[in-house]
Amino acid sequence: MRRFLADPLTRLKLVLGAMALGVLILGLAAYGVLPGPNGPGAGRVAAMAGKLATGAGDESVGGGTVLGPDTIADIVTRTSGAVVKIETVVQGQGENPFANDPLFRQFFGNEFPFGPQTRVQRGIGSGFIVSPDGYILTNDHVVEGASSVMVTVVGRPKAYQAQVVEQNYNLDLALVKIDAGGDLPTLVLGDSDRARVGEWVIAIGNPYGLDHTVTVGVLSAKARPVTVGNREYSNLLQTDASINPGNSGGPLLNLAGKVIGINTAVSTNAQGIGFAIPASTVKPVLGNWVNHKPAAYLGVSVGAVPAALAGNLGLGDGQGAYVATVLAGSAAQKAGLKPGDVIASFNGQPVNGPDDLVAKIQGTSPGAVVPLVVLRNGTSLRLSAVLGSK
């Protein structure tokens, strides 16, 4: 070894090789492949990861946005004040538990002295403030049948009695109003149509009464048809952000802090699968509700397009709305709609399921003349309807 290193040419080659290796390492660190001594490589890697994480979702979220260690916390700090807890009381009549007891029947006979009992059921859900004067958006099933609705706002010492202003069973949406004696923080609806599968999302709500729980995940899928109880949803967002009972009505936020969905359901057959009503369904309805405009009316009952029919028509998942019935004398009948038709476009916009069609109708003013694209027996028809008032 000594004899090898004693050769001047060999030593020069070793020195130059070491220098070249050092330059290569520094170059890799500067480019981000290896971490540099002060973190320049780590910064480049973080920036690249941030671009992949944020994508190009809402208009305020660009591909250059970096998802840093404080990004989620900052969004939660900025938005959580507009998320509220909703507590309800539903009263109903139930059979007396002793009515069928043989001992009581033997004693009292058919003249049983205790009638049906009044049963009180308490519920809990979430919502978020959409206007400074106290309008709050939530799910219809959160406040359905409630005799009392109480809303708790962050930082306020007492809960407020709320009035249910509007409800829509088919869309599972409701608007309630509180008087807080001053302006309240609000959330803004984002563009759920531009949201991409794989984007980060944040859910805030009150699962099992645990106030302002924050969960994070990604947008797992769009346009999911889901049946929960007696409700059929045709166009839901799917997420793996944890959603549990009590989250219903709360916001699903993007990294711009805008609401792209209203959390509404959880899969009982699997873990890590939750669903939200897309903001695109909510926007037109909410605008009319807040401005106290009457709802427009087409006069059809619609459902999801049967799979076989959708395949024959070349429709993708969630596209179009199948006309089940047409009411006599309605705007739909006057326009020429028939049972079995598929409404593919309403007022120049594609129809993404029956929920989307209902939202589009209710977001239009009564009396408006709207063009329709209808698929019938494999043929595309262009009709025109003058919407009625409901």
Taking the C-alpha atoms of residue 294 and residue 287, their distance in angstroms, rounded to an integer, is: 11
Q: Is 191 a catalytic residue?
A: no
* Nearest alpha-carbon partner for 28 in 36, 16, 37: 36
Contact yes or no for 355/276 (Cβ under 8 A) = no
DSSP class of residue 352 equals -
Contact yes or no for 296/364 (Cβ under 8 A) = yes
First to last CA, the chain: 97
Amino acid making up residue 273? I
Q: Is 355 a catalytic residue?
A: no
Contact yes or no for 215/242 (Cβ under 8 A) = yes
Which 3 state secondary structure label does DSSP give 336?
A: coil
Q: Is 172 a catalytic residue?
A: yes
For the chain, the farthest-separated pair of C-alpha atoms sits apart, in whole angstroms, at 119
Contact yes or no for 365/356 (Cβ under 8 A) = no
Rg (CA), the chain: 29
The one catalytic residue in 80, 141, 192, 220 is 141
DSSP class of residue 120 equals E
Taking the C-alpha atoms of residue 249 and residue 172, their distance in angstroms, rounded to an integer, is: 9
Residue 223: φ, ψ to 5°:
60, 45
Instruction: Classify each residue of 26-40 as buried b or exposed e, where b means 16 or more C-beta atoms within 10 Å of its C-beta.
Output: eeebeebebebeeeb
The one catalytic residue in 58, 140, 172, 191 is 172
Taking the C-alpha atoms of residue 292 and residue 91, their distance in angstroms, rounded to an integer, is: 29
Concatenating the DSSP letter of every residue in 190-248 gives --TTT--TT-EEEEEE-GGG-TTEEEEEEEEEEEEEEEETTEEEEEEEEE-S---TT-T
Contact yes or no for 48/66 (Cβ under 8 A) = no
The one catalytic residue in 234, 248, 280, 330 is 248
Taking the C-alpha atoms of residue 323 and residue 300, their distance in angstroms, rounded to an integer, is: 7
Q: Residues with catalytic annotation?
A: 141, 172, 248
